Amino acid sequence: MTEQVQGHTTYHIHLGDLFDGPMDLLVHLVRKNEVDLYDIPIALIAEQYLEYIKLMKVMNIDVAGNFLVMAATLAHIKSRMLLPVQEEQEDEEDPRMEIVRPLEEYLQLKYAAEDLAHRDRLGWDVFIRGTDEISESAGEEPRDFVQVSLFELMDAFQRIIKRVSPEHFLNITADTISVKSKILEIADILEQKGSVTFEELFEKQATKGQIIVTFLAVLEMARTQVIRIMQHVKSGIIRIFNG
């Protein structure tokens, strides 16, 4: 995201390999909507996929080219699904198989590549961290926490944004806080508390700009491995721990 809060300094978040790619976003949407992998409602998934891309662009989170390629693929499949089926075309393959097959292969490769000896698989794309690793890095951190994907974090961020009253929807240029200062603030909180819930980082009366800056600070701290972002399996609460 571009931050324009102090001297109109620009601030970009380069996620690199830290967070997920387009296939993970598709898996996230299929799970979120609780739809059958082999009967994907393309119009709905394509629309939601583009909403995530728009949000990432608005916040100046670098959107890799493969995200845009997948968006074009979804649009192409959607257009094919809208075409009337001719009698001689009834035996043709379902257009959605264009993404179903790659999704199947992707999930197989993803699981094969993970070190399952240290992580118990939970669901499609979430892994519980090994007990030893947790105890060494976070003391008493519960075992029933799983790592959060970028898209789950974006969902939580959107819920927080929706709670901000209209009078607090100020332009980010009106805010005086910077991402760097927010990073220091979050580091101080974690130093004192050890961990904090994602929502606790966002002040109840915060402006939209302050909320965005806080979210960017969280992403940057995760990218640099200063923090770990975990989610409780049962409650769904997202909690942030020192890295």
Q: What are phi and psi of 231, to 5 degrees?
A: -130, 135
* Mean pLDDT calculated for residue range 166-190: 74
In 3D space, the residue among 237, 227, 148 whose CA is nearest the CA of residue 190 turns out to be: 227
List pLDDT tens digits, range 58-110.
Answer: 777 777 788 999 999 999 999 998 888 665 566 678 999 999 999 999 888 87
Q: Which pLDDT does position 74 carry in this prediction? A: 96
List pLDDT tens digits, range 189-243.
Answer: 999 999 999 999 987 656 788 888 899 999 999 988 899 999 988 888 999 998 7
pTM: 0.73
Lowest mean pLDDT, pick from 34-43, 129-138, 140-149: 129-138
* Mean pLDDT calculated for residue range 41-48: 96
Within 8 A by CB and 6+ apart from 230, the residues are: 129, 141, 145, 146, 147, 148, 238, 239, 240, 241
CA angle at 45 for the pair 149 and 19, rounded to the nearest 5°: 20
In 3D space, the residue among 197, 184, 215, 175 whose CA is nearest the CA of residue 7 turns out to be: 175
Distance CA 114, CA 155 (A): 25
